[in-house]
Amino acid sequence: MRIEAADLEVREAVWDQPGWPWENRNTNPMDAYEDSAFQEPKAAVGRRTVRQTFVRIRAEGITARYGPIDSYAAAVAQDALLPWLVGQDASRIVELNDRMQRLSRHGRSGLFMTAVAAVDLCLWQLKGQAVGEPLYRLLGGPCRDAVPAYASMLGFSIEPERAAQRAGEAKAQGYPAQKWFFRYGPAHGNEGFRRNLEMARAVRRAVGEGYRLMFDAFCAWTGPYATQMCQALEEVSPFWVEEPLPPEDLASWERLRRSTRVPLAAGEHLHSRRTLLPFLREGLLDVLQCDPEWAGGVTEMQAILHTAGAFGVPVYPHGHTLLPAIHLAASHPPSVLPMVEHLLNIQPERYALFAEPPKDEGGRFALPTKPGLGVELVGSAEA
């Protein structure tokens, strides 16, 4: 199945943005500087034109697409991966993934792996179209009839009363768990610490004891601050605290692990089985969150899931997108991949150009039925 062409396709369509206006941003490592250039997101609501980029691969008369992909992944894919791919055998996906990782000295981590992921996912889409089966069946599934998702509340207000209202609404819609995003870090002093804790207490009161409640710090805290914050959060019984520290600061992770009973999660910024191994060997994490759109695609994620499973650490994939995570969840036992992340304020736009976007039914997604990952697009392609 020789690849005849491999390039990028840009599409656009008019789309009606559903949902809520963006009410809040999360804390960010750039907050360490008073003159931080990090800006509040400005998410539009309503009718507008959406323009997105997709990987496109053609082999034996079949054209597959995958995306949308971010601009940095598109640049690497276009310059380093897609020209090399032409003439290769599209059926040898594991080999192609390994070769792509070897193309560059930077090929096994960071932004390069996001481009590898985009190409890998398009190759799996192509294979699914060729055999007429959804991806999870090619991976050995299904292991369940539907995939549960937790509500990820990025963009919602963290003012206690407003956050409590939103948390109660998400629980009433059927979500079995939800994640909230801290706005404040070390640079915001005692007042920011207090406001973080007030938000956490408010959403806990709203959802009640026993409901799974998670919090995300986006790698923006220091070791001492993370220790103090996690110890204070023990009273609200988080299901996990996510990325309180940068993933490369293993020494601080080790100290934090010893200092708190709060379960810890990380992984969206770990791009391969190799980068997560130190965390697993040292028992630093209760939850892994590697993302199939960032960690080398379905091929590398298969290796990550098997590696994590050997250490007894479940994987809850980071929610940069939904479809790959849904297929992976459908093809692995719930003990290995319990549920996926649904970013309520972000996912609708990612699927704005899909003929049939993933449909959330009260915190559950039905298994896809279309070939491959289920990528069928609307809108016009640029010449």
**71 token code pair:** 């601009």
- What single-letter amino acid sits at 78? Q
Least trusted range by pLDDT, from 26-40, 43-57, 239-253, 292-306 = 26-40
DSSP 367: P
Mean pLDDT of 245-274: 97
What integer pLDDT is reported at residue 303 of this predicted model?
97
Strand 264-266 relative to strand 287-288, pairing: parallel
Span(s) in the chain for CATH 3.30.390.10: 3-132
Longest alpha-carbon distance in the chain:
62
The interaxial angle of helices 189-207 and 160-172, nearest 10 deg, is: 30
Look up the CATH architecture of domain 3-132: 2-Layer Sandwich (3.30)
**Average pLDDT value for residue range 353-382:** 94
- What is the β-pairing status of strands 240-242 and 212-216? parallel
Measured distance CA(130)–CA(212) in Å, rounded: 40
Cis peptide leading into residue 142 (ω within 30°): yes
Alpha carbon distance 373, 238 (integer Å): 33
Q: Calculate mean pLDDT across residues 290-302.
A: 98
DSSP H stretches of helix in 152-272: 160-172, 189-207, 223-233, 250-259
365: β partners: 147, 360
Whole-angstrom distance, CA of residue 226 vs CA of residue 228: 6
For residue 176, give Cα distances in angstroms to 16, 207, 366. Answer: 28, 10, 16
CA-CA distance, 304 to 267, in Å (whole number)?
10
* Tens digits of residue pLDDT in 3-49: 999 999 999 989 887 766 688 888 989 888 877 655 555 555 678 89
**CATH architecture, domain defined by 137-374:** Alpha-Beta Barrel (3.20)
**90 phi, psi to nearest 5 deg:** -65, -20
In the predicted model, is pLDDT for residue 298 greater than 60? yes
Quick one: pLDDT at residue 22?
Answer: 80
93-151 pLDDT per residue, tens: 999 999 999 999 888 889 999 999 999 999 999 999 999 999 999 999 999 999 999 99
SS3 at position 242: strand
- In the chain, residues under CATH classification 3.20.20.120 are 137-374
At 158-213, the pLDDT tens digits run: 999 999 999 999 999 999 999 999 999 999 999 999 999 999 999 999 999 999 99
If DSSP codes are grouped into helix, strand and coil, which group holds residue 321? coil
Q: How far apart are CA 9 and CA 165, in angstroms?
A: 41
Among candidate residues 66, 95, 80, the one with its CA nearest the CA of residue 8: 66
Residue 241 to residue 287: CA distance in whole angstroms: 10
Can you state the angle between helices 250-259 and 273-281, rounded to 10 degrees? Answer: 40
Q: Give pLDDT, residue 265.
A: 98
Q: CA quadruple 138, 143, 144, 145: dihedral positive or negative?
A: positive
Rg (CA), the chain: 21
Can you tell me the distance from the alpha carbon of 88 to that of 272, in angstroms, rounded to the nearest whole number?
23
3-state secondary structure of 110: helix
For range 246-272, the mean pLDDT: 97
Question: Token pair of 103, please?
Answer: 């193309």
